[in-house]
Amino acid sequence: MNVLDRRTAVATLLEDRGDLLVLSGLGSPSYDVFAAGDHDGNFYLWGAMGGAAMMGLGLALAQPARPVVVITGDGEQLMALGALATIAASAPANLSIVVLDNGEYGETGGQPSHTARGVDLCAVATASGFASSVSVAEPDRVPGLRAAIRETTGGPRFVRLAIAPGATPKTLPPRDGAFLKSRFRAGLGLPVT
């Protein structure tokens, strides 16, 4: 079975990102996004397990002219399966959900997640009504995903990246919620309060 190196895959996705807005899930996905390069258009979630996809939906609806990608883990997305149905029903054309699926609950010790036991997140996204759903395990296919996640039409899109299990070194982004909110709002040209 092919699997991807998570840091390389995320860095490849975010290369030459343009005006892409990125919301990262709790733990390792935030470390991966930060390791790919800190940016005013990154919003890192801290202590919001299960909230990434729904926050991405809100952001996509509020910023329909900007592409929005949520990068999260299989454990977090499993915690919020209902979010996929709500996203599909809302049909934000500019939203992509990218799940880094290593089949583990990485933040709590590496126990097998439900995806390791046969739960197919792409099938759930498809059944929920996502416009497209794809699973990628080959490194040479990741660059081709960049154009799709930068689209503001044709969504919502769901991407499962099959990544290697195991921990990677932590690269900690800013953890100050007020700072992150203000920086993100300023990057959007909104008043900072």
Residue 147: partners with Cβ closer than 8 Å, 6 or more residues away: none
Distance between CA 149 and CA 70 in Å, rounded? 10
| Cα separation values, 135 from 41, 54, 132, 142, Å | 26, 21, 10, 10
User: How many angstroms separate the Cα of 95 from the Cα of each of 2, 19, 21?
Assistant: 27, 13, 10
pLDDT < 50 stretches in the chain: none
pLDDT value of position 50: 84
Question: Where do the structural domains in the chain lie, given as residue ranges?
Answer: 6-185
Distance CA 118, CA 157 (A): 21
The predicted pLDDT at position 107 comes to 67
Q: What is the pLDDT of residue 1?
A: 53
For 6-185, which CATH superfamily applies?
Thiamin diphosphate (ThDP)-binding fold, Pyr/PP domains (3.40.50.970)
Q: Give the pLDDT score at 113.
A: 80
Q: What is the pLDDT of residues 118-141, one digit of tens each?
A: 889 999 999 999 999 999 999 999
Q: What is the pLDDT of residue 49?
A: 80
DSSP state of 4: B
